[in-house]
Chains A and B, each alone.
Chain A
Amino acid sequence: MPFSEARIDLTFRLAGDAVVAVRVDSSRQTQAARSLAGRRPDQVVAMLPTVFPLCGTAQALAGMAAIERASGIVVDPAHVLARRMLLLGETLCEHGMGLARDWPALLGEGPDLGSARNLRAAAARLKLLLYPSAYWNRPGGGALEPDRAGLGSAVAAIGGEIAHLLAADPEEPAASPAALSDWAQGGASAAARLFARIFDDGLADFGATDFLPMPSNGPPDLAERLESDADGGYVARPACRGRVFETGALARHAGHPLVAPLLAAHGNGLAARLAARLAEVTESLRDLSALMQNLSDAPSAPTPGVARGCGLGLVEAARGTLVHRVELEDGVVAKYQILAPTEWNFHPAGAMARGMIGVPAGPKLLDRAWMLVNALDPCVVCTLMAE
């Protein structure tokens, strides 16, 4: 039997001159993680980046956090720092793929595949530069032996590719809305031209809706909702007391000096959401450089784990809050659940669907909806249709 690729189909129902309803049909395999049951925790963590490769590092980190909590393993702070570097590297890579491939496509321009390849290669190098024996994804922590010179080169290469894709020092457009506007009007990169298009065509508020940012520690009822989610309904269509949060860069950087004024002026539309991704790029580059200065290469051995327990692992991946939950019995996984950010943002009552309600119909409807899809960046293929 063939293995179908998951996708999300969005159908915009038109009445009069506007979108009045949005139907979301998702074929995402939200229950697949349950089939991880019966395996040892280390086997599960080793599999996660291969089976869930989009944000595969974040997937493994969330899995390790859940397993370590379930087992009562206390991880050395040196591993916490190294793992944070890996997560930042992946976040930069994912946003960089948007800059190199997805944003040019919104303008009808070709991708910068060379830059995308260089960026992915530099981000991938971080793992072996921190954990040369390749066991970066071992519960409790593997052999951390950072190659500081190599890490410095890799981080510089990531920053260099981002600067190339923006045709600017990333700090410049991210300084303020005025700086963003100046950079956009210069039009020296596809990203700049996309912002110019958004401002020139009056699309800064396109997709704006009530802003319900994901709380920094996840939904307050997360643990109990996952624990009681017998039929998988919660991980397929999550909500918190009737609210469907928006997760991702905007939720994390709503107070950033570039993002906050755009949010106040235009709501959580295209300008604020795309600017939040730029803000996250600059913050991530800065954090990555700072963390590198504090690396330690002599972590203590992890505390021994227990064979039975329950744990939750929450990671802020590029696309938003990613949650893994595990129940261990007799040293093996008895139950495994994954709640991905796309289930919030592309929920039938989520930010994407709510943002399209009331949008004017017209020949540019689907092109503009594509921009909103890219701003929210689902982790699967999306199709759009109007009826």
Chain B
Amino acid sequence: MAVPSRVIAIEGGFATVEAFGVTRTCNLMLLSDPVGIGDYLILGAGGGFAAAKVAAADALVALEYLEEVLADGRA
């Protein structure tokens, strides 16, 4: 499972992203699409690289589901 993370800062090919109150830094080298503040990224296993950029609408639906997973005690 992965958590869509919102980009809050970008510097030198790296983005700082936030999800569920946790911030992480990831490498943007694997992405072909341009990334900006406010975009949502999916991080690869280990979190070191951004694996994909996802549309905000898709990210918000996924985050709502993941909140349910947490509330259900399944994460």
Asked if B68 and A117 sit within 8 Å, CB to CB, the answer is no
Does A15 lie at the interface of the complex (its beta carbon under 8 Å from any beta carbon of B)?
no
Interface residues, chain B, with chain A CB atoms under 8 Å away: 1-4, 19-22, 27, 29-32, 42, 44-47, 51-52, 54, 58-59, 61-62, 65-66, 68-70, 72, 74-75
- A interface secondary structure, majority: helix
Considering only residues 80-126 of chain A, those with a C-beta below 8 Å from chain B are: 113-114, 116-117, 120-121, 124
Asked if B19 and A3 sit within 8 Å, CB to CB, the answer is yes
Asked if A113 and B54 sit within 8 Å, CB to CB, the answer is no
Q: A4-B75, A54-B45, A121-B32 are in contact. Are A29 and B69 (CB under 8 A)?
A: yes
Instruction: List, sorted by A's number, 6 A–B pairs whose CB atoms are closer than 8 Å.
Output: A31-B74, A47-B65, A50-B2, A52-B1, A54-B2, A114-B29
A sample of 4 more A-B contacts (CB under 8 A), given A1-B20, A29-B1, A117-B29, is A2-B21, A3-B19, A4-B75, A113-B29
Among A32-40, A172-180, A358-366, which stretch is in contact with chain B?
A: A32-40
Asked if A52 and B74 sit within 8 Å, CB to CB, the answer is no
Considering only residues 13-41 of chain A, those with a C-beta below 8 Å from chain B are: 29, 31-32, 34-36
Asked if A52 and B29 sit within 8 Å, CB to CB, the answer is no
Asked if B4 and A50 sit within 8 Å, CB to CB, the answer is yes
Asked if A120 and B30 sit within 8 Å, CB to CB, the answer is yes
A4 surroundings in chain B (CB, below 8 A):
75
Interface size on A, residues (CB 8 A): 31
Q: Given the complex of chains A and B, what is the CA–CA distance between A84 and B59 in angstroms?
A: 26
Q: A50-B54, A51-B62 are in contact. Are A3 and B72 (CB under 8 A)?
A: no
A1 surroundings in chain B (CB, below 8 A):
20, 70
Does A265 lie at the interface of the complex (its beta carbon under 8 Å from any beta carbon of B)?
no
Asked if A34 and B65 sit within 8 Å, CB to CB, the answer is no
Asked if A379 and B45 sit within 8 Å, CB to CB, the answer is yes
Asked if B74 and A35 sit within 8 Å, CB to CB, the answer is yes
Q: Given the complex of chains A and B, what is the CA–CA distance between A29 and B69 in angstroms?
A: 9
Q: Given the complex of chains A and B, what is the CA–CA distance between A53 and B41 in angstroms?
A: 11
Does A163 lie at the interface of the complex (its beta carbon under 8 Å from any beta carbon of B)?
no
Q: A32-B75, A121-B32 are in contact. Are A51 and B45 (CB under 8 A)?
A: no
Most chain A C-beta atoms within 10 Å of own C-beta, residue among B1, B19, B20: B1
B58 surroundings in chain A (CB, below 8 A):
46-47, 50
Asked if A51 and B1 sit within 8 Å, CB to CB, the answer is yes
Q: How far is the CB of B59 from chain A (nearest CB, A)?
A: 7
Q: A3-B70, A29-B1, A34-B72 are in contact. Are A117 and B47 (CB under 8 A)?
A: no
Q: Given the complex of chains A and B, what is the CA–CA distance between A201 and B74 in angstroms?
A: 43
Asked if A50 and B29 sit within 8 Å, CB to CB, the answer is no
Closest to A119 in B: B30
B22 surroundings in chain A (CB, below 8 A):
2-3
Asked if B70 and A34 sit within 8 Å, CB to CB, the answer is no
Nearest first, the 4 A-B pairs at minimum CB distance are: A121-B32, A50-B62, A113-B29, A31-B74
Q: How far is the CB of A232 from chain B (nearest CB, A)?
A: 9
Q: How far is the CB of B44 from chain A (nearest CB, A)?
A: 8
